[in-house]
Structure 1
Amino acid sequence: MSEGGAEAPGGLYHERQRLELCAVHALNNVLQRPCFTRQAADDICKRLAPDARVNPHRSLLGTGNYDVNVIMAALQSLGLAAVWWDKRRSLERLAPARALGFILNAPAGVSLGAVALPLRRQHWLAVRQLRGTYYNLDSKLPAPARIGGEAELRVFLRDFLSRGLCELFIVVPKAVEEAGTWLEPE
């Protein structure tokens, strides 16, 4: 079980940020249960680069900062897939109802306690729907933040992707990925 998870008001599972474990938190938040731990992510890193002296899929210090390959392998172990969203495509083509949720990646500042450092790291966060409402489940937030329905989700994602070096991954069952039904027909 992952540390730091709690059921937020409204029945949402929400893990809070610890170390550089945002990828683990994003996975658990999108899955809505404590499915992965730091150890599980480290084991995936070892499988992805078994002979590497310095593992390229996590922080040199071993505090997390896992890359997309770890997220994809973790989801695959559950029969799920992370489909990369091509930003050149209109978000109107996205079929959110066929997605389990979304994992987003964005540059974030680094701080040491209350001191902001002049560094940027990538940060993972999750978006998930519950009872018709989408929520931002960023582990840096004190609680889930309500986004709204599908129209508000598209606005949220459009705004997020417009910020530059941001990426969107649609978390779907393997069958949805293979059929390509995460995308509305043209």
Structure 2
Amino acid sequence: MDSIFHEKQEGSLCAQHCLNNLLQGEYFTPVDLSSIAHQLDEEERMRMAEGGLSSEEYRTFLQQPSGNMDDSGFFSIQVISNALRVWGLELILFNSREYQSLMINPVNEKAFICNYKEHWFTIRKLGQQWFNLNSLLTGPELISDTYLALFLAQLQQEGYSIFVIRGNLPECEAEQILGIMRVHQQQRPRLIGEEEAQTKMGFGVEDEVVDEDEELKRALALSRQAMDVEDEDADLRRAIQLSIQQQQAQPNIPQQSDTHSTSDSGEQS
């Protein structure tokens, strides 16, 4: 696991962490992403100017803040898409009709990036194993093939937007090492600050207004409860149970026959 590159959360720079964890290296900085955002802003300004510099639409556009970045570290899906295009990589919306019609088993993909409430994170295959590289975690989290498709379905149910990464990812040390060996994870990583949050909740913090970072961590903690197992058999039992619960909740949706298979477009980082 030491060979896996995993950038942990700093401020609100989850878009940077998501990209670097996907590419497995320090490929992008806030300055790089800001440059891409400014370029997109200028392209949008030029398109709006075509309607006339004195038009009401153009004046309104100039008064609005950038839709591609802000001072908190937010970067839009357009910024992420353009950053990946430099590496010949493409984003495809996972739940789009076009992609779903292909009936591709998620296990056969290379990577996914997920978005929820302005937070981006990466799920990537390294060697023959899948890892949750969320920057809010203390380290990479191993995800079994058995659970991957259901984990993605669970994220969608919780409101995440999921994008499939298509193209050739750059070579990395972890890919080479995990290509010839498999790793086992005895203890799953925790959310950064999870213990402190749980301690505070014991003193009535649940009655207070929490900020978005704290809300995100709680949502992620809930999404990971079903994954808190250490062996494949237990993983499979949980996967089957979750699949049955989903079918009972949504009777009009046909049940997937392959238990080995585990949103609207997010535009914020």
The one-letter code of the counterpart of 2:35 is D
The one-letter code of the counterpart of 1:167 is S
In the other structure, the counterpart of 1:77 is: 86
1:124 corresponds to 2:116:
no
CA contact (8 A) 2:112 2:122 kept: yes
CA offsets per residue over residues 76-119 of structure 1, 9 Å max, x none? 11111111112667699234466431100012xxxxxxxxxxxx
137, 154, 157: which one aligns with 2:149: 154
State the percentage of identical aligned residues: 29
In the other structure, the counterpart of 2:141 is: 145
Cα gap change, 1:48/1:143 in structure 2, threshold over 3 Å: closer, same or farther?
same
CA contact (8 A) 1:91 1:158 kept: no
In the other structure, the counterpart of 1:136 is: 132
Matches within 5 A, 1:82-121: 82-86=91-95, 93-96=103-106, 99-107=109-117
- 1:63 offset after TM fit, Å? 2.8
Name the SS of the counterpart of 2:120 in structure 1.
strand
1:66 corresponds to 2:103:
no
- 1:131 offset after TM fit, Å? 2.0
In the other structure, the counterpart of 2:161 is: 167
Q: Which has the higher strand share?
A: 1
- 1:125 offset after TM fit, Å? 0.4
22, 29, 35: which one aligns with 1:37: 29
Q: Which has the higher helix share?
A: 2
Pairs aligned (count): 148
State how far apart, in whole Å, the 1-side matches of 2:86 and 2:108 are.
19
CA offsets per residue over residues 42-63 of structure 1, 9 Å max, x none? 000001002466321112xx23
CA contact (8 A) 1:30 1:100 kept: no
Question: For structure 2, which runs of at least 5 residues remain unmatched after alignment?
Answer: 46-61, 169-269
1:28 corresponds to 2:20:
yes
State how far apart, in whole Å, the 2-side matches of 1:163 and 1:67 are.
20
- Larger Rg computed on CA atoms: 2
CA contact (8 A) 1:26 1:126 kept: yes
Question: For structure 1, which runs of at least 5 residues remain unmatched after alignment?
Answer: 1-8, 108-121, 175-186
Name the SS of the counterpart of 1:82 in structure 2.
strand
TM-score after normalising by structure 2: 0.51
